Structure 1
Amino acid sequence: MLKSVSNRRRFITLAAPALGAILLAGCKVIPKAPIDTPPPPEQGPTSSLPTDSARHRVALLVPLAGPNGGVGQSIANAATMALLDTNAQNLRITTYDTSAGVASVTAQAVADGNRLILGPLLSDDIPAVAATARAARVPVISFSNDEGAAGRDVFIMGSVPSASIARTVEFAKSRGVNRYAALVPSGEYGERASAALFASVRAAGGSVAATESYDRSNTSVVSAARRLKTKGGYDAVLIADGGRFASQAAAQLKTAGAASPRLLGTDLWSGETVVATTPSLRGAWFASVSDARFRQFSASYKTRFGAQPYRIATLGYDAVLLTLRIARDWRTGSPFPMTRLTDAGGFIGLDGAFRFRPSGVVERALEVREVQAAGVVPVSPAPARFGE
């Protein structure tokens, strides 16, 4: 059952028959909402966590109110699903509402005896969480995609743009693309996307012929695309932004049906309807986690909670699977075995294989998709596990 113990924290103690287990600027921009909004958190009387010695205590830090409350609730619901689907009996996951004050709820999570923190969602919240957690030797696995926030005891689980760009460039190189250009938004995200492109192209033995930056406005991206088109000297152009800006830039860079230049994107394109319906983007490639298991997850989620999940909700599910995997060799009441997070073999979740590098940044097995007239389809599957 799911109980509410306060407006700041809730614990989940679940037992059920096994059902079968299967962003710009560091997640400061939250993915678009689904058609339906997940239900609000339950409210109930104040209570303290029960005393037990058979379960590992794990804190889930997400916003349950405010502008990102729907996303946080969706992640919390997904964590509940993972516990139900695996019939987990050895975890007590307590959800803490970061919208009530991230510093205070982190202090409460540590005081409650949690040995691992899953969250927070936003990169801006990571310093406050890490400061308290580090003093208590409690590692943090954040749902952010901000690579710069990673550290020796702070792990970044959100899909990072550099990985998507590297996978796309690797695939493009295998198809004969050697000269690249880029359109990147101004700011931290654009700087990281540009750096990732240069590093990936250099590793592939190619060259970057030109780059243009723009403010995130319709007129700015169109002007930047026109400037880039006049430069020439490239076979492919990376548009490091979401579907709306990519579609506007694409119309300036190539004529619908033209073979060149090849347009490249990032995982920000995943699930964007405008990508599939923009003629100038046909033939474009981008890398993302596979959606193969998400469809089944989404159907099960809607049956349980009466709404569609946010795409990022799978991070909550997979974080629980990761914890359960490590819990096999984790003695109850002892510190979380943090070194297990960087096991070379990694973990398997709804979004496929993933593991953490020693830097704390996630590495994911990604598929490459192509925008075609009939829709967006995989053209290079994600490896089932690392080493393949």
Structure 2
Amino acid sequence: MFAVFRPARKVTRLALGLAAAAFLAACDPVPTGGGPSINTSKPVPVALLVPLGSAQSGDAVLAQSLENAARLAISDLSDVQIDLRVYDTAGNAGTASAVAAQAADEGAKIILGPVYAQAANAAGLAVLNNNINVLSFSNNSKIAGGNVYVLGNTFQNTANRLASYAGRAGKGNMVIVHSTDEAGEVGRAAIAQAIAGGRASNAGAVPYERSQQGVIDAVPNVKSTVEASAANSIFFTSTTAGALPLFTQLLPEAGVSPQEIQYIGLTRWDIPTQTLALPGVQGGWFALPDPGKAQLFRNRYASAYGGSPHPIAGLAYDGIAAIGALVGAGREDALSGAALTQNAGFQGVGGIFRLRADGTNERGLAVATIQDKQVVVIDPAPQSFSGAGF
């Protein structure tokens, strides 16, 4: 992270619809290659790498939530046995490399996790010669490729979805406002790529240093760029914990009204919920997982464990459910790269998703706005990869 399915079978354990992340369509032909052979009639060893033991605040809760979600997914599988083996990475790359190698030596056929980008990259390198794939919880596409896949929602997914929607809605002449740190630069590149894909037009980019003074200094530049280009939208890379609240306060004061210029966010604007009360975010657009499916997962998790899941816990459920679906197809090459990237995709806890051959992913996202301090979906998440939004 940035510092930051079974075909044609109805599974009844989760009548609300999560069930084993069923294939979205008939499974594509799966050529052999890029993964170990497995015996689908026996429990399949899966290593789960979590940041338990990390000194970073919150990692212990995150680790437990990921394990809970993985075990919840296992309990919802039908006629598939998963032998889950949990390993502690302590949240660092060196330990992740060591425990990934240990997991391979102990028979793991695939690795689920770890969370952080450097740790995921190290784990992938550690098991590369073992022909084992890694489904990391990172959203950093820089580490994707080879035997490492990222399950986290990427900036590119969000940028593509929002640029496409903005273009259709007549708000596609965009000014990109981005911080100059790594996350901001990656976000800027994702938005620029989405624009270059024909979804919108690039009206310019305004960088800012990630500080209060940096935001203050950038406001006149944003205004002049919007006016000079006749832009009708601003695409922010900033987060609700960073520059977004200040931008959405200062830009309207400077005359860049959100009633005239569409504000768009690359990150979630509904977390934390206090953000919804900010005057400047009212009417802004952002993307999020299918709210209905996400709520079903939260309810299911709360019923099983008596609390709320961590915001990324669903990635562990998705990973296990996808593995279970592939193993359930009965093929010895079920965990090969070709199988993992089958084009039909999977139905996950936040909607449809599929892994790509380059190690990145595509996820079906909804477009939402904030009205009267409430989240309102204005364009539902697509239900297939051939539908609207892709």
* TM-score, normalised via structure 1 length: 0.82
- For 2:232, the equivalent position in structure 1 comes to 235
State the AA in 2 paired with 1:340.
A
Match of 1:97 among 78, 88, 93: 88
99-108 or 151-160, larger mean C-alpha shift: 99-108
Shift in Å, 1:341: 1.3
1:318–1:335 Cα change, 3 Å: closer
Distance 2:204 2:134 in 1: 39
Is this contact kept in 1: 2:121–2:148, CA < 8 A? no
- For 1:340, the equivalent position in structure 2 comes to 339
Shift in Å, 1:87: 5.0
Match of 2:205 among 205, 208, 211: 211
- In the TM superposition, what whole-angstrom CA distance separates every residue of 1:239-298 from its partner, at most 9, and x where no partner exists? 112114212101122259751211000233343324311111111111221221222322
- For 1:14, the equivalent position in structure 2 comes to none
Q: Does 1:162 align with 2:173?
A: no
Distance 1:252 1:172 in 2: 23
Distance 1:301 1:188 in 2: 34
Is this contact kept in 2: 1:281–1:371, CA < 8 A? yes
65-74 or 376-385, larger mean C-alpha shift: 65-74
- For 2:324, the equivalent position in structure 1 comes to 324
- For 1:195, the equivalent position in structure 2 comes to 189
State the AA in 2 paired with 1:84.
S
Distance 2:72 2:192 in 1: 40
Shift in Å, 1:174: 0.7
184-193 or 344-353, larger mean C-alpha shift: 184-193
- For 2:32, the equivalent position in structure 1 comes to none
Distance 2:189 2:196 in 1: 11
- For 2:367, the equivalent position in structure 1 comes to 368
- For 2:29, the equivalent position in structure 1 comes to none
Distance 1:91 1:331 in 2: 15
* TM-score, normalised via structure 2 length: 0.82
1:369–1:342 Cα change, 3 Å: same
Is this contact kept in 2: 1:63–1:73, CA < 8 A? no
248-257 or 193-202, larger mean C-alpha shift: 248-257
Match of 2:42 among 43, 46, 54: 54
Is this contact kept in 1: 2:111–2:135, CA < 8 A? yes
Shift in Å, 1:171: 0.6
- For 1:35, the equivalent position in structure 2 comes to none
Q: Does 1:151 align with 2:145?
A: yes
- For 2:266, the equivalent position in structure 1 comes to 266
State the AA in 2 paired with 1:207.
S
Distance 1:53 1:319 in 2: 20
1:194–1:241 Cα change, 3 Å: same
Is this contact kept in 2: 1:137–1:335, CA < 8 A? no
**How big is the alpha-carbon RMSD for the aligned residues of Structure 1 and Structure 2?**
2.2
Matched position secondary structure for 1:268: coil
347-356 or 88-97, larger mean C-alpha shift: 88-97
Matched position secondary structure for 2:367: strand
136-145 or 92-101, larger mean C-alpha shift: 92-101
Matches within 5 A, 1:258-297: 258-297=258-297
Is this contact kept in 1: 2:235–2:263, CA < 8 A? yes
**Percent of residue pairs bearing the same amino acid type:** 27
1:270–1:340 Cα change, 3 Å: farther
Is this contact kept in 2: 1:115–1:335, CA < 8 A? no
Matched position secondary structure for 1:243: coil
Distance 2:223 2:283 in 1: 18
Distance 1:379 1:335 in 2: 38
How many residues matched? 342
Shift in Å, 1:383: 0.9
246-255 or 373-382, larger mean C-alpha shift: 246-255
Distance 2:293 2:139 in 1: 21
Shift in Å, 1:166: 1.3
Matched position secondary structure for 2:268: helix
Shift in Å, 1:60: 0.7
Structure 2: any 5+ residue segments left out of the alignment?
1-11, 19-39
1:171–1:275 Cα change, 3 Å: farther
Distance 1:85 1:226 in 2: 54
- For 1:377, the equivalent position in structure 2 comes to 376
Is this contact kept in 1: 2:159–2:190, CA < 8 A? yes
State the AA in 1 paired with 2:321.
L
178-187 or 203-212, larger mean C-alpha shift: 203-212
- For 2:13, the equivalent position in structure 1 comes to 18
State the AA in 1 paired with 2:357.
P
- In the TM superposition, what whole-angstrom CA distance separates every residue of 1:52-104 from its partner, at most 9, and x where no partner exists? 97211111111122222221211111011111233564111111111182122
Distance 1:204 1:316 in 2: 34
**Aligned structure 1 segments of 4 or more residues deviating by more than 6 angstroms:** none
1:235–1:138 Cα change, 3 Å: same
Distance 1:274 1:215 in 2: 25
Structure 1: any 5+ residue segments left out of the alignment?
1-16, 23-51
Shift in Å, 1:194: 1.2
